[in-house]
Amino acid sequence: MYLQTLTIAAAISIAGLTVKFSGGDPSTTPDPMTTATPVPSTETLEHGKAMFNISCAPCHGADGTGNGPISANLRSKPRDLTKGIYLNRSTASGELPTDYDLFRTITTGLHNTAMPSFRQMRQQDRWAIVQYIKTLSPRFADSTEYPLDVLNVGTQVLPSPQSLERGRTLFLQMQCANCHGSGGEGNGPSASSLVDDFKNPIRPTDLTNPSDYKFSHSVLDVFRIFSTGLNGTPMPSYAASLSETDRWHLANYVWSLQSTDQYVDGRNTDSPAPKQTGSESSDSQQ
């Protein structure tokens, strides 16, 4: 096992995946958006609104409440963007997402839900939409919400048999299995009774099934998701209860449930193929 130092703003390479946590436009600018961002120009907001009305309102509704014309036909309900409650974040439990978190969601979409990827849309259009959707919830204009506490990923532990073993112990110890099941298949004892803050039934992810992951495209995403927790869902944050090193072991274990062959010397050839290639990393920007 060897260690590789990571910082949240650094472009890093893990097991062939190029993962970039830097955001901003141009893409070399780090994303220190932990404080309220300067008020965007009226022009940007108007452009963002126009783009939103074309691309997002059919599902999220012109007012952002999630009741767009095609929402009734969808299995997973479009998010009510007026609440300011976001699952896919790099910030502490209960906090708002950073601008880059929103940009990431719009860019990658949420796999296995109706929320599409807008990778093909021009970057400046995606950024304008980010600014516009922040105006839909009063939380973003509330100065008491800032500064945001952005996740520190510490020093990455690369996968090894020892790391996976430690990760499995932690998975059971931290009671991930209550919801995700002891094999990670999403069938724990509490799995069937969960409801989210929007009053929709919610199901723990089947961590063994690559196509059941909504948010994670890399082991770093897994680390991020269970460290920050998913606001608005029963899935808590584990940033305070586990050291960074232990969280890397746990992330390695969870990720190995679906793509062990990628990491353990190619010995496990029975596991499903990894669902993403390096160029598709969730944090890559185009």
Contact residues for ligand HEC (CB under 6 A)? Answer: 55-56, 58-60, 74, 76-79, 86-88, 102, 105-106, 110, 113-116, 118, 129, 133, 174-176, 178-180, 190, 194, 202, 204-205, 213-216, 222, 225-226, 230, 233-235, 238, 250, 254
CB of 4 to ligand HEC, least distance (A): 21
CB of 203 to ligand HEC, least distance (A): 6
CB of 139 to ligand HEC, least distance (A): 13
Query: What does the angle CA 230 – CA 235 – CA 240 come to, to the nearest 5 degrees?
Result: 85
CB of 218 to ligand HEC, least distance (A): 10
φ and ψ at residue 136, rounded to 5 degrees: -80, -20
Where do the DSSP E strands lie in the chain?
Answer: 3-5, 11-14, 17-20, 155-157
Closest to ligand HEC by CB, 12 vs 115, is 115
CB of 202 to ligand HEC, least distance (A): 5
Closest to ligand HEC by CB, 164 vs 222, is 222
Closest to ligand HEC by CB, 12 vs 107, is 107
Tokens of 123: 């970057």
Closest to ligand HEC by CB, 25 vs 267, is 25
CB of 247 to ligand HEC, least distance (A): 9
Tokens of 69: 């014309």
**Residue partners of 24: CB distance under 8 A and separation at least 6:** 30, 31, 100
Closest to ligand HEC by CB, 30 vs 116, is 116
DSSP character at residue 171: H
Answer positive or negative: Cα dihedral of 117, 120, 125, 127: positive
End-to-end CA distance of the chain: 33
Q: Quick one: which of 122, 159, 130, 116 has its CA closest to 255?
A: 159
Closest to ligand HEC by CB, 12 vs 206, is 206
* Rounded Cα gap, residues 201 and 194, in angstroms: 6
